[in-house]
Amino acid sequence: MTGQFGLRQKALTYLVLAPLAILFLAPFAWLVSASFQPMGEIFSSTPHWIPQDATLEGYKGFLNVGQLTKAQQAQGHGDWRWFVNSAVVAVTITVLQTFFNALCAYCFAKRRFPGRNGIFVLFLATMMVPGQVTLIPNYLIIQHIPFFGGNDWMGNGGHGWLDSYWGLIMPGIVSAFGIFLLRQYMLSIPDQLLEAARIDGAGEFRIFRSVVLPLCGPALAANAIFTFQGAWEDFFWPLIIMSSPEKITAPVGLALFVVQNRTSWTLLFAGSVIAALPMIVVFLVFQRRFVQGIALTGIKG
């Protein structure tokens, strides 16, 4: 295709690409600009792409810096803890899930033990089950975890893991899809390598940690990136199980803001920028890993 790609075609391609790129990016530009605009400017009859009267009011409303304005107090203000909650939950899930997925994947890929195929097929079969089917029972299961949240040993009497980080994190620490992905990748590790380590006297966990994990870099990175992305923007699960305003995650906090028809859009736009920023940074830094990861999951899928 390269052969005939002359100057004219090049110019033509840019002519098509540039407007498309502008269309895709314009909403972001507007978001960033609006997050610095006071309410009066957001609600003006002509939209301003460059804030005329730039303000940090929106961001301050989230960081709770200085005095909140009367309007902010009346409408409920933003809460920086939403972002901390999101970060803590997403990082914890990512670390734990990547580790436990790899551990399970290693057993399915490289160990021979009675029951292996049966368990693996069970894992695979449940990959077809959409999350919505288990959502409702899991809500009830979480509510009845024994000994937590005021529950007795039968799981009654309290609220269990509802409205707690346990409930947010625990169901997310393994994923059948991630295990499958990592297993496929680990199949390509030569058995002799593991045998050699075994002969050298390495224990099973040592083999996993020092031989298998270092060889799975790209697959682990893909698993970690997509898990983080999923956990950071997860909405449905935190929406239904979390209720304390200071414990909710950023997507839930922002969405409830809109749904409850609060009108301080300056605050909302600022919060949206803060919520979007980590993922955009992760993407720009690990761009190549993203693409590799999609190829890894996509082509095999």
Partner 1 sequence: MNRRGLPARVWKERSAYVFLLPGMVIFSVFTLAALVFAVYLTFHRWSIIEPDKPFVGLDNYRDMMHDERFVESVLNTVYFSGASVPLSMVTGLLLALLVNLPLRMRGLFRAAFYLPVVTPFVVSAILWKWLYNSDYGLFNYYLLQAHIIDDPLLWLSDKNIAMPAVILMSVWAGAGFSMVVYLAGLQAIPQELYEAARIDGAGAWHRLRYVTIPMLRPTTLFLLVMGIISSLQVFTQIFVMTNGGPVNRTTTMVYYMYLWAFKYFDMGYASTLAFALFLMLLVFTALQLRLARRGAVA
Which amino acid is it at 153? W
**What separation in angstroms does the CA of 269 have from each of 3, 32, 39?**
47, 7, 11
3-state secondary structure 23-82: HHHHHHHHHHHHCCCCHHHHCCCCCCCCCCCCCCHHHHHHHCCCCCCHHHHHHCCCCCHH
> Which of 37, 72, 98, 101 contacts partner 1 by CB under 8 A?
101
**111 binds partner 1, rule: CB under 8 A:** yes
Kindly write out the interface string for residues 78-97 of this chain, putting x where it contacts partner 1 by CB under 8 A and - elsewhere: --------------------
Q: How far is the CB of 51 from partner 1 (least distance, A)?
A: 15
**128 binds partner 1, rule: CB under 8 A:** yes
**295 binds partner 1, rule: CB under 8 A:** yes
> Cβ neighbours of residue 252 under 8 Å, at least 6 residues apart?
82, 235, 238, 239, 242
> Which of 85, 265, 266, 289 contacts partner 1 by CB under 8 A?
265
**166 binds partner 1, rule: CB under 8 A:** no
CA distance linking residue 87 with residue 277, whole number of Å: 12
Enumerate residues 167-196 that contact partner 1 by CB under 8 A: 170-171, 173-174, 176, 179
**13 binds partner 1, rule: CB under 8 A:** yes
Asked if residue 106 lies in contact with residue 207, where contact means CB atoms within 8 angstroms, the answer is no
**301 binds partner 1, rule: CB under 8 A:** yes
**What separation in angstroms does the CA of 149 have from each of 89, 143, 280?**
19, 9, 36
Residue where the block lists tokens 């994947």: 105
> Which of 54, 152, 210, 236 contacts partner 1 by CB under 8 A?
236
Q: How far is the CB of 16 from partner 1 (least distance, A)?
A: 6
**153 binds partner 1, rule: CB under 8 A:** no
What b/e sequence results for 207-241 when a residue is b if at least 16 CB atoms lie within 10 Å of its CB, and e otherwise? bbeebbbeebeebbbbbbbbbbbebbebeebbbbb
CA distance linking residue 231 with residue 225, whole number of Å: 10
Q: How far is the CB of 213 from partner 1 (least distance, A)?
A: 13
> Which of 6, 8, 50, 113 contacts partner 1 by CB under 8 A?
113
Q: Which among 8-16, 53-61, 181-189, 216-224 is the span making contact with partner 1, rule CB under 8 A?
A: 8-16
**219 binds partner 1, rule: CB under 8 A:** no
Which amino acid is it at 56? L
Q: How far is the CB of 108 from partner 1 (least distance, A)?
A: 8
Q: How many residues bind partner 1 (CB under 8 A)?
A: 98
Q: How far is the CB of 67 from partner 1 (least distance, A)?
A: 26
Enumerate residues 268-287 that contact partner 1 by CB under 8 A: 268-269, 272, 275-276, 279-280, 282-284, 287
**242 binds partner 1, rule: CB under 8 A:** no
